[in-house]
Amino acid sequence: MQFRYSLLAFIFFSITVWVISAEPSNAANNKKYGKPNIIMIVVDDLGWSDVGYNQTSSYFETPNVDVLAQQGLVFDQAYAGAANCAPSRAVLMSGQYGPRHGVYTVSPSTRGDAKTRKLIPIKNKRGISTDVITIAESLKTVGYTTGSFGKWHLGPDPDEQGFDVNVAGSHQGMTFNYFSPYDLPNIKDGPKGEYLTERLTNEVIEWVKSSKNQPFFAYIPYYTVHTPYQAVVDKVDKYRKKGINDAKQATYAAMVEHMDENVGRILNTLSSEGLADSTLVIFTSDNGGYRMSSFPSPLRGGKGSYYDGGIRVPLIVSWPGKIKPGLDHTPVINADFYPTLVNLAKAELPNQVLDGVDLSRYLLGKGNIAERDLFWHFPVYLQAHHASTDQGQDPLFRTRPGSAIRSGDWKLIQYFENNEFELYNLENDLAEKNNLVNRNPQKLAELKAKLKAWQQQTDADIPTKLNPEYDPVLNQQLINKVLVN
Active site residues: 85, 153
**Cα–Cα nearest to 187, from 208, 209, 165, 206:** 165
Give the Å distances, CA to CA, from 129 to 25, 158, 183, 446. Answer: 37, 12, 26, 35
Structural contact between residues 215 and 145, judged by C-beta atoms closer than 8 angstroms: yes
Sign of CA dihedral 149, 154, 155, 160: negative
Q: Is the peptide bond before 468 cis (omega within 30 degrees of 0)?
A: no
Structural contact between residues 49 and 291, judged by C-beta atoms closer than 8 angstroms: no
Distance, in Å, from the CA atom of 334 to the CA atom of 315, rounded to the nearest integer, reads 9
Which stretches of 97-183 are DSSP H helices?
98-101, 135-140
Q: What is the DSSP letter of 312?
A: E
Distance, in Å, from the CA atom of 464 to the CA atom of 446, rounded to the nearest integer, reads 23
CB atoms within 10 A of CB 251: 23
**Cα–Cα nearest to 114, from 482, 468, 457:** 468
Q: What is the DSSP letter of 390?
A: H
Structural contact between residues 258 and 14, judged by C-beta atoms closer than 8 angstroms: no
Give the Å distances, CA to CA, from 450 to 157, 287, 334, 389, 406. Answer: 37, 24, 21, 31, 10
Query: Is residue 31 within a helix (H) or strand (E), and if so which, with residue range?
Result: helix 26-33
Q: Which amino acid is at 363?
A: L
